[in-house]
A and B are shown apart, each in its own frame.
Chain A
Amino acid sequence: MSADHKPQAEPTAAELHGILAEYDTPDQLVSAAKQVRDAGFEKWDTYSPFPVHGIDAAMGIKMTILPWLTLGAGLTGLATAITMQWWMNAYDYPWLISGKPIWSIPANVPIMFELTVLFSAITTLVGMLMLNGLPHPSHPLDLVKRFGRVTDDKFFLLIQAADAKFDEKDTRDLIDATHPVAVESVLEDRVTPDTFPPGLIYGLIVVTCGALVPVALAVKARHSKSDKPRIHLIQDMDAQPKYKAQRENPIFADGRADREALPGTVAVGHLNEDDHFYRGRAQGGWARTFPSQVDLSEETMARGKARFGIYCTPCHGQSGLGDGMVHKRADALAQGGWIQPTNMTQEYVRLQPVGELFNTISNGVRNMPAYAAQIPPEDRWAIIMYVRALQRSQAGSLNDVPESERGSLK
């Protein structure tokens, strides 16, 4: 190893950077550091492959301010998270989610925590590097061959010539007294250029300017008006390979994208073959009887009453007299032109076959709209059953009342 080390020419004072001592163990380094510290030097340092236990006290290193930087960054992160979430979700674009408050702390805690940690961690690393003066590309020690083992297994101490107390002979005597393995003068680095190569600098300028172009375009776009549609980089589902309704389609002779159903096409469940049940017709005329599908029972009557109440009473009234709420309101407004809904207990309605009543409900008549879309056929028949009952009640005579009850009517 010593063979590698060429003896150097005696340096002049101007060229000398400092004196370097090498040690084999951390303990030797610590005791040497104590002696240098006690001698009152300021511009000196020790170097080791790992943090040596007790070296801070031996060198008199003061506690770093790094924790305070981290604390400041953490508080900044916390404040950033609070402000960001409040501004974005409660102020700039208030967002109501599931009826929750626009601004509530608990739901915003996770991101406050994360940004506190993120800001602190980045600041800790960057702060450590900056306080340590890193990156530090070149150093006079890089020219000392033996110093290469500082990251392997050796320990070093350097006193700089720039220190006020530095005297080449006295300092070397002090170092010799610490029993180093080797001592060496370190020269100022005259080899490594002090500045970056100009090519590198111009290259960096060009790359930086190039990188700013998209940013500048985005900023310009945000602060100017344009009639053109906005740039839409990813078309996603805007363009879909399909023919939409009402568009042209060259595949077909008529050039239309919409296709008509084939003649005779019947949708599932819409065959409606039974004329009596679905249209109220039988033997070429209006059916005079209820179709066989309708169960002439108490339940059907109750169903018919309920459906009548929903669909018919607004115009025809509870008793079918044509005096429902719609009529009363229209009459009260007295704007003229209002025709009273049919009183369905009149004789001509009473004489209509059930099939004709079914047709009236299904397709409407005069002012009355069609109800086929709202009321299924079986319910229409149930309503007719109830209408028949209403008609009967209005056209009855005393003979219709059971004999035992007649007395109460007198």
Chain B
Amino acid sequence: MAAASDFNPFQAPPKGDNTFAQITDNVTRIMEAPKPPRAWYIAMGIALSMLTMFLGSITWAAWNGIGVWGNMMPVAWAFPIVNFVFWIGIGHAGTLISAVLFLFRQNWRTAINRFAEAMTIFAVMCAGVFPGVHIGRPWLPYYMMPIPNQMGMWPQYRSPLEWDIFAVSTYATVSILFWYMGMIPDFATFRDRSTSTVKRLAYGIVAMGWRGSSRQWHRYERAYLILAALATPLVLSVHSVVSFDFATAQLPGWHATIFPPYFVAGAIFGGFAMVVTLAVPARQFFGLKRIITIRHLELMNKVMIATGLLVGYAYGMEFFISWYGGSSYEGFTFVNRLFGPYSWAYWTMISCNVIFPQLFWFKNIRTNVWATLLIGMIVNVGMWFERFVIICTSLTRDFLPSSWGYYVPTKFDFMTLGGSFGLFFTLFLLFCRYLPMVAMSEVKAFSPAGGHARPHLHHGHDDAAHAHH
């Protein structure tokens, strides 16, 4: 490997004479290192060029109008909404790991929760771009906000699209608050470990004078528990509300009561796939193998089997209901999915989401990092196609054959989709370099010396603790 000639300081064993110091060193040296590994620069270069493409294609669409995309009648929702639902779905795993697994006392989450929360926030940012540009006049979204305007009109609160505005912006806000609050003690660690004045000042401002007082920890822990309890129903509500955009419409293929749980399961499935996709390279390049262990990847893969089966069940149940419901339009829509002009998209979705994840039943596959990475990427592709199938296939063939059409995206559609990954990865790489990638205080608390962990739950940290002994 090329990396052999290129010494990577992150791969050295962490310094420190006790478990806590080793955890601190393992995480802070990424921020302390004068230079990140070469792979970081290469990745950043690619991400920045994709980001440029993203901004360029959006500017082009805003300047010329959305006619540069393939959107047409009847497929007016097309790529922008497919991408929106895709990204907002990815943004579910973070809060699920932070909040739901916290309430269920799944202590293994401490290794990956910060990471997944960051991913959530960046995915929600990517998602937020698409409805904004999709309206064609991105300077007018304030119409959807409850603010007085020159028309003297207010938003229409009985519309699912308006619910969406509130659900997604609440979710973004609460996720950022939760993420930030979790980082306050780690920012304090960064502040105390920094040697340069600029870093001390910057981390000092965001740490807000945290000094680890027990009286403060008491309120902090209570606040964390409350936020987790608030975020749990919230994370389940967001994709439910997104699914209402479809479920409350009369269109065959959209008008289904299974949509809210089906969308939530799909979001968790796709979100975990993205966490795995990011965690494998990050632990590889930044020397976090002692903290994010194979056991963590394996547990995430198990969650993916479970949610993948839920999604597969939903696919099957949609067919059952279309037959059992007896509506000929509904029935046609599902036959059309299997054999119609977009059947290639449907079968891509089925193979990526239902067939490939079954490989995780084999222990040697779900404990292999590269197989995990590959299947995670396949699931990401599959989940994108799921939204494409729901939106585009249903819209192209609805009630009136006279209004049928075939949607073909243009190169600007693909540039915007590809470019959104540039935004995501740019933010993610900056996060890896400058922010605490692992929740140090939580990992310390749940390490064997920390005294929080129950004996049967902390296997994952054993190798973190004993790696250097």
Please report A residues at the B interface, Cβ cutoff 8 Å: 24-27, 33, 45-56, 59, 61, 63-64, 66-67, 70, 84-85, 88-89, 92-93, 95, 97, 100, 104, 107-108, 110-111, 113-115, 117-118, 120-122, 124-125, 127-129, 131-132, 134-139, 141, 147-153, 230, 234, 236
Look across to chain A and name the residue whose beta carbon is closest to the beta carbon of B210.
Answer: A134
Contact B154 A230 (CB under 8 A): no
**With A52-B214, A56-B218, A136-B209: A117-B192 Cβ-Cβ less than 8 Å:** no
Cα A147 to Cα B188 with chains together (Å) = 12
A-contact bits for B155-190, CB 8 A (1 contact / 0 none)? 111110011001100100110011011000100110
Contact segment of B229-237, B302-310, B383-391: B229-237
**With A49-B441, A117-B233, A135-B209: A122-B146 Cβ-Cβ less than 8 Å:** no
A230 to chain B: which residues have CB within 8 Å?
A: 150
Look across to chain A and name the residue whose beta carbon is closest to the beta carbon of B137.
Answer: A236
A322 to chain B, nearest CB (A): 46
Look across to chain A and name the residue whose beta carbon is closest to the beta carbon of B173.
Answer: A118
Contact A51 B146 (CB under 8 A): no
Look across to chain B and name the residue whose beta carbon is closest to the beta carbon of A127.
Answer: B223
B interface majority secondary structure = helix
**With A97-B158, A122-B173, A134-B216: A50-B185 Cβ-Cβ less than 8 Å:** yes
B110 to chain A, nearest CB (A): 10
Contact B185 A114 (CB under 8 A): no
Contact segment of B15-23, B331-339, B368-376: B15-23
Query: Contacting A128 at CB < 8 Å: which of B140, B219, B442?
Result: B219
Contact A97 B156 (CB under 8 A): yes
A93 to chain B: which residues have CB within 8 Å?
A: 152-154
Query: Contacting A124 at CB < 8 Å: which of B155, B226, B237, B441?
Result: B226
A interface majority secondary structure = helix
**With A115-B166, A234-B139: A89-B158 Cβ-Cβ less than 8 Å:** yes
Please report B residues at the A interface, Cβ cutoff 8 Å: 16, 18, 20-21, 24, 137, 139-140, 146, 150, 152-159, 162-163, 166-167, 170, 173-174, 177-178, 180-181, 185, 188-189, 191-193, 204, 208-223, 226-227, 230-231, 233-234, 237, 241, 244, 440-442, 444-445, 449-452
**With A110-B166, A110-B167: A149-B192 Cβ-Cβ less than 8 Å:** yes
Contact A113 B223 (CB under 8 A): no
**With A51-B217, A118-B174: A89-B154 Cβ-Cβ less than 8 Å:** yes
Cα A57 to Cα B233 with chains together (Å) = 31
Cα A111 to Cα B440 with chains together (Å) = 36
Contact A124 B227 (CB under 8 A): yes
Contact B451 A52 (CB under 8 A): yes
Contact A47 B220 (CB under 8 A): no
Contact A50 B208 (CB under 8 A): no
A182 to chain B, nearest CB (A): 16
Cα A24 to Cα B174 with chains together (Å) = 36
**With A26-B450, A93-B152, A121-B173: A134-B209 Cβ-Cβ less than 8 Å:** yes
Contact A114 B166 (CB under 8 A): yes
Cα A107 to Cα B161 with chains together (Å) = 12
Cα A124 to Cα B223 with chains together (Å) = 6
B441 to chain A: which residues have CB within 8 Å?
A: 49-51
Cα A88 to Cα B226 with chains together (Å) = 31
**With A107-B158, A151-B188: A50-B216 Cβ-Cβ less than 8 Å:** no
Contact B230 A47 (CB under 8 A): no
A236 to chain B: which residues have CB within 8 Å?
A: 137
**With A50-B442, A84-B146: A61-B214 Cβ-Cβ less than 8 Å:** yes
Interface pairs (29), CB distance under 8 Å:
A46-B214, A47-B213, A48-B212, A49-B212, A50-B217, A50-B452, A54-B451, A56-B218, A61-B214, A63-B222, A70-B230, A88-B155, A108-B158, A110-B244, A114-B167, A114-B234, A117-B234, A120-B226, A121-B227, A125-B177, A125-B180, A127-B223, A137-B204, A139-B211, A141-B211, A151-B185, A152-B189, A153-B18, A153-B20
